[in-house]
Amino acid sequence: MKRILIILSAVMLSLSSCIDWGLEELPVYEEANILEFSLEYRYADTNDNGFERLAVVTLPTTTEIDDVKHTVTVDVTIPEPSGSFTQEEREKVSLSNLVAYAKISPAAKLQPMNGAPELGKPGDFTQEREYRVTAADGKTAYTWKVKIKPLPAVNE
């Protein structure tokens, strides 16, 4: 009896497969939008044990996203000194050494264009940058222009 159950189980498992016929096609997203855009500043810091570490300061932003013109305009505020983020470090924050992040449409792809920095890595945002967002359907794609407004003076 045990042998029959083992053989029957093996036969059932071998007859099951990934059926690809008769299944409905799932919808594919057609959106190619930038939904959010954020910035951070990274710098080297020394911890209490004397080891160097990466410190990160999230920069408060006001972001205007135009889905029709495909533009993102970001107004950045540099936070007040706090902890290891001293006034001296605060004065080093510039548009040429920021790290950007974007939230995009589900399953879309984002590609930097014309020398734009790769998101998630330090880059230069001193000029308007372009990013190509391609929807999950592979057909819909838009070139988005990202402009970071000049930073406020912080040495006062």
Tens digits of pLDDT across the chain (156 residues) = 778 878 877 777 676 666 666 666 767 889 999 999 999 999 999 888 889 999 999 999 999 999 999 999 999 999 999 999 999 999 999 999 999 999 999 999 999 999 999 999 999 999 999 999 999 999 999 999 999 999 988 654
Question: Has residue 155 been placed in a domain?
Answer: no
Q: What is the number of domains present in the chain?
A: 1
Given a contact cutoff of 8 angstroms between Cβ atoms, the answer to whether 81 and 90 are in contact is yes
CA angle in degrees (0–180, nearest 5) for 58-131-106: 75
> In angstroms, how far is CA 156 from the centroid of its own chain?
33
Given a contact cutoff of 8 angstroms between Cβ atoms, the answer to whether 90 and 77 are in contact is no
User: What CATH number is attached to the domain comprising 95?
Assistant: 2.60.40.4120
Residue 103, H or E segment = strand 98-104
Quote the DSSP letter at residue 92: T
**Stated length of the chain:** 156
Question: Has residue 1 been placed in a domain?
Answer: no
In this structure, which amino acid lies at residue 23? Answer: L
Full domain range(s) for residue 38: 30-148
pTM of this structure: 0.79
Tokens matching residue 66: 């135009």
